[in-house]
Chains A and B, each alone.
Chain A
Amino acid sequence: DAGITQSPRHKVTETGTPVTLRCHQTENHRYMYWYRQDPGHGLRLIHYSYGVKDTDKGEVSDGYSVSRSKTEDFLLTLESATSSQTSVYFCAISPRQDSTDTQYFGPGTRLTVL
C-alpha cells in the first residue's frame, strides 16, 4: 500500500461521539486525500491537503474536518458522528497534483456509527 497506514482499521462508535481517523505515510508525498466509499456512490472526496496546514474541501465535506501538522500525518475528524457517516474511509497520497495525478491508497478504515 505504498507506505500508507490507516488507524484504526475498524471502529464502532455511537451517534454524537467525536471520532478521529489517522493516515500516516512514509513516502514524503505532498498531497494527501480522504475519501469515503459507499455502495452505489463509489469513492467520494471528503477533504484533501496540498501541504502542511494547507487543506481544502471535497465533494462531501459537511460534518468532517481535517488537520495536517506534519507531512506524514493527515487526520480526519468527525466532530459528532452520525449514522450517515457509517462508511469505509480511504486515505490516498500522491507526489504531485498535475496532469498525472496518480493516487496511492491506504488499506481503509471501516467505521460503524450506531
Chain B
Amino acid sequence: QKEVEQDPGPLSVPEGAIVSLNCTYSNSAFQYFMWYRQYSRKGPELLMYTYSSGNKEDGRFTAQVDKSSKYISLFIRDSQPSDSATYLCAMSPTSGGSYIPTFGRGTSLIVHP
C-alpha cells in the first residue's frame, strides 16, 4: 500500500459544480499537507498549504485535513473550465530528518461548460 492514495479519476463535472478531491494516507507523522495543480504539459504549482488538522480557505478553494481519519480534501466552489487540471496532494512530516513531501498520483479534473 502506498503511503498516499489518490483516485486518479478522471472526475468530470459541469461548470458551477462543487468539486471534492480527496487523499488518504497511512503515515501518522505527516503534519503538512499541500495541494498542487498541474495543467497539461506543465509543472505542478502549489495551490494551497495547511498544517495539521482544520480548514483553510482561499477564494473558491478550501483545504480540509482530518488527521484522525488520515484524510484530506480540496473543495472547489463554482468550478470553472479553467480549473480543468490534475490536482496532486502532497504531505510531509515535521520531524525525523526528512521533510521531502510524498505525493499522491493526482486526480484529473474536467470542468465542462
Contacts and interface: CB of A to CB of B under 8 A. Distances in A.
B49 interface: yes
B44 A105 contact: yes
A45 interface: yes
Given A90-B44, A105-B43, A98 B99 contact: yes
Contacts, number: 56
Given A42-B104, A101-B92, A108-B42, 17 more contacts: A1-B43, A4-B43, A33-B100, A42-B88, A43-B103, A48-B100, A97-B99, A97-B100, A101-B99, A102-B34, A102-B46, A102-B49, A103-B46, A105-B44, A106-B43, A107-B43, A108-B41
3 closest A-B pairs by beta carbon, nearest first, are: A105-B43, A42-B105, A101-B99
Interface of chain A, helix or strand or loop or mixed?
Answer: loop
Nearest to B31: A99
Given A99-B32, A102-B46, A45 B100 contact: yes
A101 to B, nearest CB: 4
Interface string B76-106: 0000000000001000101000111101111
A97 B99 CA distance: 6
Interface of B: 6, 8, 31-32, 34, 36, 41-46, 49, 51, 88, 92, 94, 98-101, 103-106
Contacts of A101: 32, 92, 99-101
A44 to B, nearest CB: 8
Nearest to B45: A105
Contact of B88 (A33, A43, A97, A102): A43
Contacts of A107: 42-43
